[in-house]
Amino acid sequence: MAGSALDRVETDKPYEALAVTGKAEASAGSPIIELAQLTKTFDSSGQKVVAIEGVDLAVRPGEFVTLVGPSGCGKSTLFNIVSGLLDADTGGKIHFKGEERQGKELLGTVSFMPQRDLLLPWRRVIDNAVIALEVEGMRRKEAREKAQVMFQEFGLAGFERHYPHQLSGGMRQRVALMRTFLFERDLMLLDEPFGALDALTRVMMQRWLLGIWQRHRRSILFITHDVDEAIFLGDRVVVMTARPGRIKLSREIDLPRPRDPHVTTTPEFLAIKADLMEAIEEESMKSFMSQDERG
Amino acid sequence: MTSWRNQATPVAAIVIVLIAWELLARANASPNMLLPPITAVLADIWANLEILLRGVRRTLTETLLGLVFGAAFGFVAGAVFAQVRIFEKMFFPLFVVSQTVPVIAFGALVVMWFGNGIMSKVVIAFYLTFFPVTVNTHRGLLSVDQQRVDLLRAFGASSWKIFWSLRLPAALPSIMASLLLGVSLSLIGAIVGEWFGDTVGLGILLVQAMYAEDMVRLWSIIVFCGLLGTGLYGIVAWFARRYVWWGTEY
């Protein structure tokens, strides 16, 4: 934890340069995080359930990796392990910036955004946004000043002193994202952040997130079960298998950036989608069938 | 218009009941006056205002002290039980057992331990108050959304930070609910406590009026007990609505 301030100084600047030159350079360099043979077994009332099995995955600096898979494929389990909330089974390894880390050692090293916004109803929007900074020990006043400049960019200007219940779903999600961005870590984990939004708002949020990411250039690992979303956002789409979750395939998306929404109707996009859909449908079928058996 | 009606309807009901009461009491007027007319009660209150207010002051003091100590102790106990499982296992059953013994059974004992003054009433009020606060604090602190706890942990928060920034605010609505219960219980404790012997207080006035078979005075005191209970409840309820407005579901 003590090194976190230093890390930031080292890493923030190079990414700005990357933002200009684009993806090729972003792919260079050693991975921010590297997962090797991660397995997690849950023991529920004597029955062993393997949530994920032998997961290998690396995220390079500045890379936007999207992770798709059928529901119940252990995506969230994977996130909980990477964020330090869960211990993986022994045998798997996690390297964060080249250093091996496990379990609790990862707490506070990645910026984590769960599916639900999880805003605290008693805190004003600005105080919700700075909670991670507060945890780091920053003074409330200083943290608020730091957050204040981001409100415009996040489309929340004028709502600083509102309470969460006064905001729409899309705005609450942006507050949650702002909270995640303010916790300045080189790797951000976003777990279906737009899953609960209506289709139109979701498209707006995706474009907006790309804009933000292109300016800030953090590495992002993004869970979704929407294939369009995965292709539109990602430098690389990783498909997971039905339980137990394994990496089925990993595919580079070489659509040019910046991407605008029309890219989703181009032949290139549709070709990629057809490929991925085939893999995903196969897996969805498997998880559907196994649910059927259980039912 | 509608909101005016909404407010007026219960008031109208009260007025109707009061008028019916007055008419009924006058029709049955007897020396014993099982149900004295309201006008007689009001006249008695006016004539004895000083004695009654002295009683209110004393009982109010006992109630507030009982509530403050009960709430503070109840909160600390609930918080300790929520944070330290071994204490919960050891002492929580004792707390439950303590509440199965009616406080009246302890009354004489408390007076012998704490004397005939204000302390014994405060102790009885305290005894009735702390338990609901303990239970609700304990439950409120533990029923916090685990995903929110995980989020703060993922940011690297200590359990101390999680307590102050998450568990406590999340538990406040249920703690406030127990205070509303506590305020009524504390008043009961104070009044009952006075029955074991004292010279001032609403409880003592009640006992004196009972022995004197002074039906009008009895009702005067009941009115003040009611005002005291409603007033205290109203203040706590206002405070809860104003400062702890978020619910337990969000």
Q: Which residues of chain A have pLDDT under 50?
A: 1-27, 295
Instruction: For residue A259, tell me if it sits in a domain.
Output: yes
Å from B71 to nearest chain A CA? 22
- Residue matched to tokens 């350079």: A25
pLDDT at A270: 94
pLDDT at B197: 81
Instruction: For residue A216, tell me if it sits in a domain.
Output: no
pLDDT at A295: 41
Instruction: Identify residue A19 by its one-letter amino acid code.
Output: A
Residues of A in contact with B172 (CB under 8 A): 122
Residues of B in contact with A131 (CB under 8 A): 152, 155, 165
Q: Are residues A192 and A136 part of one domain?
A: no
Task: Tally Cβ neighbours within 10 Å of residue A196.
Answer: 15
Residues of A in contact with B153 (CB under 8 A): 84-85, 107
Reported as type and span, the H/E element at residue B135 is: helix B118-142
> Domain map of chain B by residue range?
1-32, 36-243
Region B13-32 average pLDDT = 82
Judged by CB atoms closer than 8 Å, whether chains meet at B155 and A132 is answered as yes
Q: Which residue in chain A has the smallest CA separation from B146?
A: A118
pLDDT at A7: 41
Contact in structure between A74 and A41 (CB atoms under 8 Å): no
Contact in structure between A241 and A248 (CB atoms under 8 Å): yes
Q: Are residues A261 and A285 part of one domain?
A: yes
Sheet of A93-96: strand order equals: A47-59, A33-44, A93-96, A99-101
Contact in structure between B79 and B135 (CB atoms under 8 Å): no
Rg (CA), chain B: 23
Q: Per the structure block, which two tokens stand in for B208? A: 């004196």
Å from A122 to nearest chain B CA? 7
Q: Per the structure block, which two tokens stand in for B147? A: 């995903």
Residue in A15, A37, A20 with CA at minimum distance from that of residue A188:
A15
Q: Which residue in chain B has the smallest CA separation from A135?
A: B157
Instruction: Tell me the CB-side half-sphere exposure of residue B28, using CA atoms within 13 A.
Output: 12
Q: Give the residue numbers in A contacting B (CB under 8 Å), as ranges.
A: 1, 80, 83-85, 107-108, 110, 112, 114, 116, 118, 120-122, 131-132, 134-136, 165, 183
Contact in structure between A248 and A285 (CB atoms under 8 Å): no
> If you count residue pairs, one on A and one on B, with CB atoms under 8 Å apart, how many are there?
51
CATH number, domain of A54, equals 3.40.50.300
Region B49-77 average pLDDT = 96
Q: Give the residue numbers in B contacting A (CB under 8 Å), as ranges.
A: 145, 147-148, 150-157, 161, 165-166, 169, 172, 246, 250
Residue in B171, B187, B173 with CA at minimum distance from that of residue B229:
B187
- Peptide bond just before A121 cis, omega within 30 deg: no
User: What is the spatial distance between Cα B207 and Cα B197, in angstroms, rounded to a whole number?
Assistant: 10
Contact in structure between A263 and A269 (CB atoms under 8 Å): yes
pLDDT at A26: 43
Q: Are residues A136 and A170 part of one domain?
A: yes
- Backbone φ and ψ of A223, nearest 5°: -90, 140
Instruction: For residue A24, tell me if it sits in a domain.
Output: yes
Phi-psi label, residue A158: left if phi above 0, alpha if psi -120 to 50, beta otherwise: left
Å from A111 to nearest chain B CA? 7
Judged by CB atoms closer than 8 Å, whether chains meet at B147 and A83 is answered as no
Q: Are residues A95 and A9 part of one domain?
A: yes
Point out the residue among B148, B150, B161 whose CB comes nearest to the CB of A135. B161
Judged by CB atoms closer than 8 Å, whether chains meet at B156 and A112 is answered as no
* Banded model confidence at residue B31, pLDDT cuts 50, 70, 90: low
* Banded model confidence at residue B236, pLDDT cuts 50, 70, 90: very high
Sheet of A236-240: strand order equals: A111-113, A187-191, A219-223, A64-68, A236-240, A247-252
Specify the higher pLDDT residue, A153 or B31. A153
Q: Are residues A260 and A287 part of one domain?
A: yes
Contact in structure between B44 and B217 (CB atoms under 8 Å): yes
Burial class (CB in 10 A: 0-12, 13-18, 19+), A239: buried
Å from B186 to nearest chain A CA? 29
Point out the residue among A120, A121, A183 whose CB comes nearest to the CB of B155. A183
Q: Are residues A101 and A147 part of one domain?
A: no
- Residue matched to tokens 């079928």: A285
Q: Are residues A103 and A8 part of one domain?
A: yes
Instruction: Say whether pLDDT at B211 is over 90.
Output: yes
Residues of B in contact with A183 (CB under 8 A): 155
pLDDT at A22: 42
pLDDT tens digits for B166-192? 999 999 999 999 999 999 999 999 999
Instruction: For residue A48, tell me if it sits in a domain.
Output: yes
- Residue matched to tokens 């659509």: A255
Point out the residue among A84, A120, A183 whose CB comes nearest to the CB of B169. A120
Q: Are residues A192 and A90 part of one domain?
A: yes
Q: Are residues A42 and A144 part of one domain?
A: no
Q: Are residues A126 and A102 part of one domain?
A: no
Region B102-112 average pLDDT = 85
> Hey, CA dihedral for B141, B142, B145, B148, is it positive or negative?
positive
Region B139-163 average pLDDT = 93
Helix (H, G, I), strand (E, B) or coil at A122: coil
pLDDT at A18: 40
Instruction: Say whether pLDDT at B248 is over 60.
Output: yes
The CA angle A177-A183-A189, to the nearest 5 degrees, is 60
Instruction: For residue A267, tell me if it sits in a domain.
Output: yes
Instruction: Identify residue A210 by its one-letter amino acid code.
Output: L
| CA distance readout (Å), A200 to A170, A175, A178, A204, B246 | 10, 18, 21, 6, 30
Instruction: Say whether pLDDT at B62 is over 60.
Output: yes
Q: Are residues A96 and A163 part of one domain?
A: no
Structural domain of residue A148, as residue ranges? Answer: 111-184
Q: Are residues A193 and A73 part of one domain?
A: yes
Domain B36-243 adopts which CATH fold?
MetI-like fold (1.10.3720)
Contact in structure between A101 and A108 (CB atoms under 8 Å): no
Number of structural domains (chain A) is: 2
pLDDT at B33: 65
Chosen for mutation from A101, A118, A138, A140 (greatest number of chain B CBs closer than 10 Å) is A118
